[in-house]
A and B are shown apart, each in its own frame.
Chain A
Amino acid sequence: MYFTSPQQKQELKSYIKQIRMPLLLSGLGGLPYNCLSALVPIIQGWCIDQVLGGSYDDVVYAVIILAAVTIAYQFFRFFKRYSVRVMANRLSANLRYSLMEALFHTKNDELELKGSGDVLNTCVKDVDLLVEAIRKTVTEIWDTWVLMLAYLAALAMLDWKLTLLGCIPLPFAILCANAMKKKVVAENELAVKANSEASVKLKKTLDELTFARMSGCEELNLKALREAFQKQGDTNGLASFMKNGLAPIYLGIASLSVVVVVGLGSLKVVSRSMSVGALLSMISLMGTLAQRSTVASKVFNVQQGAIASWHNIFALLNREQDGSGESLSAPVNTLELAHVSYMYPQARHTAFCDFNLKVTKPSLIGIRGAVGSGKSALARTLCGFYDYEGSYKINDCEVKELSEASRAALLKYMPHQLSCVNGTLCEVITWGSHPDNDYKESKRQACLDELTDDKEIGENGSQCSSGQQQRISLARVLYSAAEILILDDPFANVDHKTEIQLIDMIRELANRKIIFVFSHRPLIFDVCDRVIQLEGGDCDEA
């Protein structure tokens, strides 16, 4: 199976279009299933009539028909159930694919604003909720509305006056269920909130337990946790009761229909204008109809929840995309920043403003400054994947207007923490290619010879020391052929001897490239062509 995103990614109906085949199949199963389901009680009643009044052969004949209809009925039921679920599974895979595709092209600033926890929640939970709602809606159309129609038709066939009379209580049951719906939803929301609060509190308590015990606030934390558990218990108890427990009330009202049929129907049978079997069929049909009418409104709740989920999904799909743009290829000659300002997505103040710089290749530029002077912000601006104000040009091309591919090819940014997916050293550095000569060269340059090529790095380098993480991050940048390198704090957690080796390597490399090095260690600045001192957003050439 190959999963793709549809043409019109932001429209739910284009996802439905993608799954039209299984949807059609479920319809093909659903129609005979519902017709047969109304037929089964009628045939059962007819069988009883044969037992009570017919010959033995009549009974055998009736029973064979019953068996055949039951098997056919269950066959179509299976067919419908299965294809609806296959449809749902395919839909969720397509949606997840589409979300990841949109995510990969969403601007980094927007990603940071959203937070990865929220995005994951949308990719997992919201997709599940939405798909569940669509599946239930499809099922509902068949199992509730079509089924109710079929049952009504069957009932009317047996006795239409009695059916009309019997149906009177049904709307009241539906109304009652609807009236309670708001309350049910509200209680459920309270419970969901309490659950997430309790789980957040629990995680926090556990994460901070050592600190809490040291500082003497463990009891205080546990007290808050117990309160959260108590609240969770209270709200969940009520919510689960409201969700499932109220059904008997609606069913009680709807069951009045059955009583009408039992009472008036029996009188008809006594006066011999109806058979016992027909009465039993009507009781059975009416019973199912009553039950269905009470759950019909339940599906509506699911749809309500799904709308919120679709909003979340839509918000991710509808982000400003950062895909196409002009293309620019090597060689790079100049790089120029004029009146550039940068602001972190969550912050209110600019990290630096009105920054000017002109660099020609080759160049090694050292940048230093105290914490909060805007070093990391400048590194982020230079890498080309974050929004900035002002003009930032490479060879007279505005970086903002370049395509993603061009920016990725020209610029390489080494952030101060290694960020990588799980894999071996070779996979992380080369993004999955085989160990070629370039790989060996960059591994040597980054002083990583102590690690074997198939060493498992772990997510974000969790299985390596912090010094190794730093050098892996560096090697990955060196492996690419980019002509502009931005190295944010490459020597942190690196011992003195390695630092000197790395400085020699960077110096040598800078004869062919433009390299920016951000550091708070002094050694590198001795070999730089230029050193820039950042101070509270201002800069000085040192």
Chain B
Amino acid sequence: MKHKILVPSIFSGFKSKKLITFFCFLSIAAGIYLQLLPSLLLKQITDEHIVPGIAQGVLSLAFVYLGAVLMSGAADLIKQYTLSRLTQSVIVEIKIQMSEKLRHLSIFTIQSKTSGEWMSYFSNDVDTIATLFTDDILTLIANLGSMAAISFTIYTLNPAVAFFVAAALPILVLISYRFNILTFRNQLKARASLSRLNGWLNSRIQNTPTLRFFHQEADQLDKLQAPLDENYRILNKTNFYDSLFPCIMNIFRGLVLICFLLYAKQDIDSGGLLSSGSVVACVNLLLQLLAPVEAIAMQLQTIQEAASGVKRIKDFENLEEEERAEREINGGGAVIRCDDLTFAYPNQKPIFDGLSLTIRQGERIVIQGKTGEGKSTLMNLLTGLYAPDKGTVSLLNKDPFGMSEEERRQSVGVISQLFLTRQGTIRELITLNDPAITDEQLKKCCKLVKMDEVIEKLPDGYDSMLAPGSNALSNGQMQLLALACALIHEPPVLFLDEMTSGLDAESENEVFEVIRQLSQDRTIFTISHRYSDALNPTCILKLQNGRLVIAD
């Protein structure tokens, strides 16, 4: 199953802003027309007033000129506003659709890429293509329109000049296009060298204390010269082309103007079509022509660049989605039950082939086994993170894989090492951002795990920020918070994943003491690589070659 993202998002982005889209096109069309007016008015003033020497009516033409300027400004204003609104509307729509899709991807697909890689879909790629479909394409239309309008106006003034312009335009576009490619390539190199430099700086910044322990400061500063120098050279090269480009274009514009002036003189001398006013208007229009030409060349370039962004969003769109549906599975009176479970990770040999397990109300099961035997895999299947290839899993008479989130929070508490990698305020970490949890519930729960006093002693109390690596709380205290997080919805079933690894014996005892007190009336499933009877288990099973056996 795959949801389309790109095309529907762009359509709905435009559709949800119909009025804005309409005004956007209107302002583009108006802008194209209005920019011609000043030149045409100058022609009229020259031909009808200056050459014959008639002063009357000049001032009213000047007011028309003023009107044209103001209206073209207004059109520009509307264009800028509508364009930025439309672009953002499409960007937001694509991002929302993409985040929607994340929810439907399998956990294996998610884990196949780093969070940095996923983020680049959301940032660079979306921005590039959303800008492509709004800003770039609409502006390209506007520029092509104004180039055509200027050329056509010149044609009405003098067809020969228009042909001359028609010959010169492709050359100008080609030159600026070439320059843009050259600049773009250099910019890529500059970006790569900057990211190398940043990587260098980042690794040294993070390791500064160590560099100081080993007195490597001077040495590392020497080594900094090389990446700085590389970056400096590449930037200079890029800037060389950046600086040269507008100069070359302006020289060409001057050349076109000079050719026109020479032609105009011959035409006037031979009594041709050009009036004085036409010469004035043509000079003005020719000078105006360069802006859209440069812009078009730039847009041809950005559209090419955006193609790679489009491809990447297409790849994202084509990721296979999982189907999760709520369904009842009779557990036959057991809290957890799996029958004939078969499971293999993508492109790997099966870990389980026909595994069955029944856990009844109030049982405390410990699963032991060596690394790689599939303890965590089993837990992930029972909690519904993975779907079995064959067989069924029943958790409180439901299929855990299709369980709604609300229901999942109410029925299971998972205590995982992953809790330690999260960041946020203590409140967020424990309540999982669930607005239904009240402060009383939060405090009660923290009291249960004996953390209420510790938390209240912190400078910001429940709003203290925690992140991996911050030393505000000890490892054991973090484990107790993980426990609080699992217990906040008071679920009847608890899953414990290697709860106390990385703790010394004393902290371990503290944590187990709390668990023992909480375990009454709860069904508990624990996996552990070390034997521990601290939990007072009702049954200890051993996972071996994909089978569960009673541990001796």
Contacts and interface: CB of A to CB of B under 8 A. Distances in A.
Contact of A431 (B61, B70, B209, B214): B214
A255 interface: yes
B224 A108 contact: no
Nearest to A64: B258
A78 B103 contact: no
Interface string A198-221: 010011111111111111111111
B201 A100 contact: yes
B251 A86 contact: no
Contacts of A270: 49-50, 53-55, 58
B99 interface: yes
A51 B203 contact: no
A349 to B, nearest CB: 9
A217 B434 contact: yes
Contacts of B265: 50-51, 56, 59
A104 to B, nearest CB: 4
A232 B470 CA distance: 29
Contact of B418 (A124, A211, A232, A371): A211
B239 A82 contact: yes
B507 A214 contact: no
A256 B433 CA distance: 57
A372 B122 CA distance: 41
A215 B262 contact: no
B45 A262 contact: yes
B89 A420 contact: no
A204 B486 CA distance: 19
Contact of B236 (A47, A89, A283, A411): A89
Interface residues of B, number: 141
Interface stretch (B110-118, B291-299, B325-333, B540-548): B110-118
A258 B91 CA distance: 39
B215 A266 contact: no
A120 B202 CA distance: 6
B99 A229 contact: yes
Interface string A32-63: 00000000000010011011100010011011
B66 A256 contact: yes
Given A74-B250, A78-B244, A422-B203, A51 B103 contact: no
Interface stretch (B74-82, B301-309, B337-345, B519-527): B74-82
B506 A370 contact: yes
B312 interface: no
B213 A120 contact: no
Contact of A215 (B287, B380, B475, B485): B485
Nearest to A214: B414
B99 A226 contact: yes
B424 interface: yes
Contacts of B53: 270-272
Nearest to B212: A385
B59 interface: yes
Given A249-B73, A276-B50, A346-B471, A222 B102 contact: yes
Interface stretch (B2-10, B138-146, B405-413): B405-413
Interface size class of A (residues with CB under 8 A): 35 or more
B182 interface: no
Interface stretch (A160-168, A176-184, A233-241, A442-450): A233-241
Interface string A264-302: 101101111000100010011000000000000000000
B231 interface: yes
B228 interface: yes
Q: Chain A's interface: helix, strand, loop or mixed, by majority?
A: helix
B283 interface: yes
A189 interface: no
A225 B122 CA distance: 12
A348 B461 CA distance: 13
A480 interface: yes
A471 B233 CA distance: 40
A372 B115 CA distance: 32
A231 to B, nearest CB: 9
B268 A51 contact: yes
A244 interface: yes
A419 B210 contact: yes
A203 B403 CA distance: 25
Given A51-B279, A419-B207, A206 B119 contact: yes
Nearest to B404: A216
B440 interface: no
A404 interface: yes
B243 A104 contact: no
Contacts of B251: 70-71, 74
A286 B41 CA distance: 17
A208 B107 contact: no
A409 B215 contact: yes
Contact of B62 (A105, A251, A262, A409): A262
Contact of A75 (B225, B247, B477, B486): B247
B416 interface: yes
A214 B50 contact: no
B392 interface: no
Contacts of B123: 199
A504 interface: no
B74 A248 contact: yes
Residue of B53, B265, B268, B418 ringed by the most chain A CB atoms within 10 A: B265
A267 B42 CA distance: 13
A46 B277 CA distance: 15
B504 A97 contact: no
A136 interface: no
B214 A52 contact: no
Contacts of B221: 97, 100-101, 104
A383 interface: yes
A204 B418 CA distance: 13
Interface of A: 1-3, 44, 47-48, 50-52, 56, 59-60, 62-63, 66-67, 70-71, 74-75, 77-78, 81-82, 85-86, 89-90, 93, 96-97, 100-101, 103-106, 108, 111-112, 116, 119-120, 123-124, 199, 202-222, 224-226, 229-230, 232-234, 236-238, 240-241, 244-249, 251-252, 255-256, 258-259, 262-264, 266-267, 269-272, 276, 280, 283-284, 322, 344, 346-348, 370-372, 383, 385, 404-405, 408-409, 411-413, 415, 419-422, 431-432, 459-460, 476, 480, 520
Given A210-B110, A280-B284, 4 more contacts: A66-B257, A74-B250, A263-B61, A371-B504
Shortest beta-carbon contacts, A-B, top 4 = A263-B62, A245-B80, A216-B408, A408-B215
27 contacts: A3-B225, A3-B228, A59-B265, A66-B258, A67-B254, A67-B255, A85-B239, A93-B231, A100-B220, A111-B208, A124-B198, A214-B385, A216-B408, A216-B432, A222-B102, A224-B433, A248-B73, A259-B63, A259-B65, A263-B65, A267-B55, A267-B59, A270-B54, A271-B53, A346-B472, A348-B459, A408-B212
